[in-house]
Structure 1
Amino acid sequence: MTERQPTPPLVEAVGITKRYGPTTALLNGQLTVRQGESHALVGRNGAGKSTLVQILTGLQAPDSGTVRFDGAPAPALTDRDAWRAKVACVYQKPTVVPQLTVAENLFVNRQPTGRAGLIDWRRLRREAAELLDHWDVRVDPDARTAELKVEDRQMVEIARALSFGTRLIVLDEPTAQLDNREIERLFTRMRALQESGVTFLFISHHLQEVYEVCQIVTVLRDARWITTAPVATLPREALVEAMAGESAAHREDTARTPVPADAPVLLDVRALTGEAYEDVDLGVREGEVVGLAGSSGSGKIQLAETLAGLHRPRSGTARLAGTALPFGDVTATLRAGVGWVPRDRHDQGFVPAMTIGDNATLSVLDRLAGTPLARRLGFLSTERRRALAADLVDRLDIHAEGTHQPVSDLSGGNAQKVVMARALASDPRLLVLVNPTAGVDVKSKESLLARVDTARDDGTAVLVVSDELDDLRRCDRVLVLFHGRVVAEHPAGWHDHELIAAIEGVARDRHAPDRHVPDRHVSDQDR
């Protein structure tokens, strides 16, 4: 009697390496997903999750390594139909066309046609209704997609993917825009689809969700595979440890002089509510650095951008040194005493064709007139502008030929220093920094963070919004946002795993024994 061969994994990636120039996005990554399971892929920002998903969905080719579906090699990148039959990804941002109906979105670019080659609308609606009914997606085929709830749009995208024949769905942060009831309904639908043979690769920053809906979890850290294990056998503190890369016994040395208890509150935020955050109370004292941490859907960046004048909140107040901040007016906000380093220096931070000096002084042009008459006429003092720019270049240690050099010629670290210089040029009372060291080298990173320390010593209130733990270590305390609400506060000296647990929404038992996670691959016996 012939021994039955084991069923190959639905998808298997082995030895996946991908580099972009000098940056290693993924090194020797691996993933094995079997039919009918919900498999979580977790890791902090920069861990390599997005790169692995791009390779698994045929958007990028690995530099080395192999991807196999049902034991067979992955299709050629140019064969998009073959990829659609293997795997589909439902992203945070919808890929449906909002102006079209549900039926039109389900069969876009493959509408059934009649004898004259025209679209057979009756057949289109009938086949759409049959597809939705088959997968128990309770949405009107004739409804405009723009009018659907987020959860229903997601289910339409899932149904569309399943209509191509795929049984592997990648869900990329599917709960980021859902409330608790919508999340529970999504999980109920996922479980029902699993029973029908659909397999999910579930990507989430909220580890609580991993324990609710997934059976297996794979952890990436620093562009490397760390571990794969059954969720039921992996304690939550151990999962956080795997993501953080430290044991609970490790604590970073963050000794610093505490902010005086009687230091005046410069930034006073009360019950601030916007599109992505709700009922936020926040205070930053003179000479205090406060961090804002949270996942991509936490609302931290939108909150910071509101304080910098980019958005108007729905309700609530924010006062700087007793004066209300002028929401929705960037120029007025800068004049009110706010310095701003945006999250994307290329799109929001500088004008590439302009010089270092011009970029660094953009926020203080009204101060660079030589006389009151020149100020009224809009004339600038070239000498004063050159002197200020030279001083900023020196203070920020910007490596350049001179203030006349275009910012486009600079390295990423020096370009970011120019953005920081512009924020500091106005001697702000409040400095709002979003991902201030993103994409810079180690030396530039330390230089930028040293400027944060200097601002603190000068009595500036500093708000640091970052995904980088090293940025947050310079803070006197860190507030954690989860689903738009402040849920935790950590004073300086926090453990990495404690902060990450709060960011990921894990209610951690502080008295539970710490467990070490070995770097290993799950075996079939573990399942």
Structure 2
Amino acid sequence: MEAVDVTKRFGATTALDGVTMRIAAGSTHALVGRNGAGKSTLVSLLTGLHRPDGGEIRFAGAAAPPAADRAAWRQRVACVFQRSTIIPTLTVAENLFLNRQAGGGPIRWKALRQRAGDLLDEYAVDVGPGTLAGDLDVEQRQLVEIARALSQGARFIILDEPTARLDATGIERLFTRLRALSATGVTMLFISHHLQEVYDVCDTVTVLRDARWVLTEPVADVGHDALVTAMTGEAVGLTSVEPRPPVPASVPPALRLRDLALDGAYDPLSLEVKAGEIVGVTGSGSSGKVTLAETVGGLRRPTAGSISVGPVGVRPGSVPAALAAGIGLVPQDRHREGLIPLLSVGENATLPIAGRFGPAGAIVPSRRRAVAEEFIARYDIRTEGPEAPVGSLSGGNAQKVVLARALSTDPSVLVLINPTAGVDVRSKESLLGAVRAAADAGTGVLMVSDELDDLRHCDRVLVMFHGRVTAELQAGWSDTDVVAAVEGVSS
């Protein structure tokens, strides 16, 4: 694939400015850059969703097909987006051959399931063709999408943040599949904000910054610091975190869990988070860490135990009760659980406090706008203004809106689930800085994350394994300590 001097404008905004990138056949090529750098726009050109205003796209030396010829595009390139395009109410077989169920005439369901089973076996996807797609986990959905793309003849696959919602074990399994595909000659463009993954799986890396090409180099020739500098234009080091002063033992707990349990997810556990303390929780996908956080936030009802904020008990299994008790939540999936896409940036950010903007349930727009503008400035949300649709934001800025909303009520407890997944380096700094500021102001923070860079900001880190807390690491831990505890082995 070649993108030669491509330019793309949307109104007065230049989304790509003379970008050239060449991807060698059979390679795994990384595309990195901060949110807003132009990655998504380039992908839209490479998949034929938009036409460049200047320059051209080529596949195997030939010009790209006309935009209207979708069949020709699908034979050349496929994209596995961060947000799944699998239709949950259809079976795996129906998704694999969507719009291709029959070559003409009625659908022969037995033959369709047989074709689907052969395809799944070919690419070692361990799901049944008759399984309802809505019952698949994130990893399985991604593998089904990859198999579907390859079955249409595409030998060039774009993977957009494929690991954003996978745990460490799932990521390694995915990487094993990607290496096997690469060995068969499949070409991949790998987009990720987790830079270590670039070094783990990619041959070459291209950096975009501010809609322009910055560099293309073999991964082995670009150090981590140099890569971050190319992305940001300045040196950024998330691994160097200023230690927080210890929270005094006399400080009362903001959050108290007593023998909290959820059958099939985690065993009875007790935990206290002091006011102003940041407690991290990590573990594998089956550890129960996400379910625990969702229980505290009111998304799940425990089968035993109690939750208290300060001295007051919280009615379990109720988001309104959790909000009323002073718990703010940043959920795992900002698209499905965190944002209302038809509302504006300002409406999303101020949703829990809308009752403050006028009498008797009425909202005075000027009051809401003033508060929204304050949030936009405080959390460095890059947007045209409070009235801009929240769907127009990049991933990092959308996550800032979710965090702003969680903090809008000045909560006593802030619960975060993978708060920096799928965001760029600078947005990570901004998000984690806001979390530290909330803790410094007295908010107790429970942060569930798989990212070591997130956990470095914690006063202590709990490691869960198969539903139990198996280790507690104080500040100053090493990466080896965390990884060994997560995997259930001694460091």
TM-score category, normalised to shorter length: 0.5 to 0.7
Query: Which residue type is aligned with residue 183 of structure 1?
Result: I
1:193 aligned residue? 181
Instruction: Find 2:373's aligned residue among 393, 417, 424.
Output: 417
State yes or no: 1:323 paired with 2:290.
no
Query: Which stretch of structure 1 is more off in the superposition, 214-223 or 15-24?
Result: 15-24
**Residues of 1 paired with 2:265 and 2:378: CA distance?**
18
6, 18, 26: which one aligns with 1:28: 18
Q: Which moved more, 1:68-77 or 1:474-483?
A: 474-483
1:48: Cα distance to partner? 2.6
1:186 Cα deviation after fit? 2.1
Partner of 1:428: none
Q: Tell me the CA shift for residue 24 of structure 1.
A: 4.3
- What does residue 161 of structure 1 align with? 149
Taking a change above 3 Å as real, the CA distance of residues 262 and 29 of structure 1, as seen in their structure-2 partners, is farther
Contact 1:17/1:65 (8 A) holds in 2: yes
User: Does the CA contact (< 8 Å) of 1:39 and 1:214 recur in 2?
Assistant: yes
Q: Is the 8 A contact 2:330 2:415 kept in 1?
A: no
- Identify the residue that residue 267 of structure 1 maps to in structure 2: 254
* Unaligned residue ranges in structure 2 (runs of 5+): 332-337, 388-396, 440-444, 460-477, 481-491
TM, length-normalised to structure 1:
0.60
Q: Matched residues in 1 for 2:430 and 2:59: separation?
A: 39
Offset of residue 319 of structure 1: 4.0
Structure 2 SS opposite 1:264: coil
Give the residue type in structure 2 aligned to 1:245.
Answer: G
State the AA in 1 paired with 2:372. Q
Q: Which runs of structure 2 are paired with 1:107-506 in the superposition (5 Å)?
A: 107-113=97-103, 117-137=105-125, 139-247=127-235, 261=248, 264-265=251-252, 267-268=254-255, 283=273, 285=275, 309=298, 319-337=308-326, 344=339, 362=355, 380=360, 403=364, 414=370, 416-417=372-373, 436-440=379-383, 468=427, 469-470=429-430, 472-473=432-433, 475-476=436-437, 482-483=449-450, 488-490=455-457
My pick for the range that moved more, 194-203 or 205-214, is: 205-214
Q: SS where residue 85 of structure 1 aligns?
A: helix
Match of 2:466 in 1: none
The answer as to whether partners of 2:238 and 2:453 remain within 8 angstroms in 1 is: no
Q: Are the equivalent residues in 2 in contact too, given 1:280–1:485 (CA < 8 A)?
A: no
The yes-or-no answer on 1:96 pairing with 2:52 is no
Aligned-partner Cα distance in 1 for 2:78–2:54: 22
CA contact (8 A) 1:290 1:463 kept: no
Would the alpha carbon gap of residues 463 and 161 (structure 1) be closer, same or farther in structure 2, given more than 3 Å must change? Answer: closer
- The answer (yes or no) to whether the contact 1:289–1:463 under 8 Å persists in 2 is no
- RMSD over aligned CA atoms reads 5.4
Unaligned runs of 5+ in 1: 1-10, 369-379, 390-402, 421-432, 493-505, 509-527
CA distance in 1 between counterparts of 2:226 and 2:200 reads 17
How many residues align? The count is 415
3-state DSSP of counterpart to 1:155: helix
Query: CA distance change for structure 1 residues 182 and 405 in 2, over 3 Å: closer, same or farther?
Result: closer
Identity score, percent: 43
| C-alpha contact 1:46 1:222 (8 A) present in aligned 2 | yes
What is the alpha-carbon distance in structure 2 between the residues aligned to residue 23 and residue 276 of structure 1?
47
CA spacing shift, 1:229–1:123, aligned 2, 3 Å: same
Relative distance call for 1:241 and 1:260 in structure 2 (3 A) is same
- Report the CA distance between 1:84 and its aligned residue: 0.4
For 1:437-469, what per-residue CA distance to the aligned partner results, in whole angstroms no more than 9, with x for missing partners? Answer: 424469999xx99xx9xx99x998888967633
Which shows bigger deviation, 134-143 or 177-186?
Answer: 134-143
Q: Secondary structure at the match of 1:191?
A: helix
Superposition deviation, residue 204 in structure 1: 2.2
Rounded to whole Å, the distance in 1 between the matches of 2:289 and 2:384 is: 25
User: Which of 48, 63, 66 is the equivalent residue of 2:38?
Assistant: 48
Kindly provide the amino acid, as one letter, of the partner of residue 180 in structure 1: A
Deviation at 1:54, TM superposition (A): 1.8
Write the distance in 2 (CA, Å) between the matches of 1:308 and 1:480: 12
Q: Which residue of 2 aligns with 1:58?
A: 48
CA contact (8 A) 2:205 2:218 kept: yes
Corresponding residue for residue 18 of structure 1? 8
Moved more, 209-218 or 309-318: 309-318
Q: CA deviation at 1:166?
A: 1.1
Secondary structure of 1:118's aligned partner? coil
* Distance in structure 2 (CA, Å) of the matches to 1:224 and 1:277: 47
Task: Decide whether the 8 Å contact of 1:345 with 1:416 is kept in 2.
Answer: no
Tell me, yes or no, if the aligned pair for 1:268 and 1:318 is still in contact at 8 Å: yes
Structure 1 residues 350 and 359, CA gap change in structure 2 (3 angstroms): farther
**Structure label with greater radius of gyration:** 1
Relative to structure 1, is the Cα distance of residues 97 and 156 closer, same or farther in structure 2, using a 3 angstrom cutoff? Answer: same
Q: How far apart in 2 are the matches of 1:300 and 1:241? A: 33
- C-alpha separation between the residues in 1 aligned to 2:197 and 2:134? 27
| Secondary structure, aligned partner of 1:228 | strand
Change in 2 beyond 3 A, CA 1:341/1:198: closer
Scaled by the length of structure 2, the TM-score of the pair is: 0.64
Counterparts of 2:145 and 2:180 in 1: how far apart (Å)? 16
What is the Cα deviation at residue 85 of structure 1? 0.9
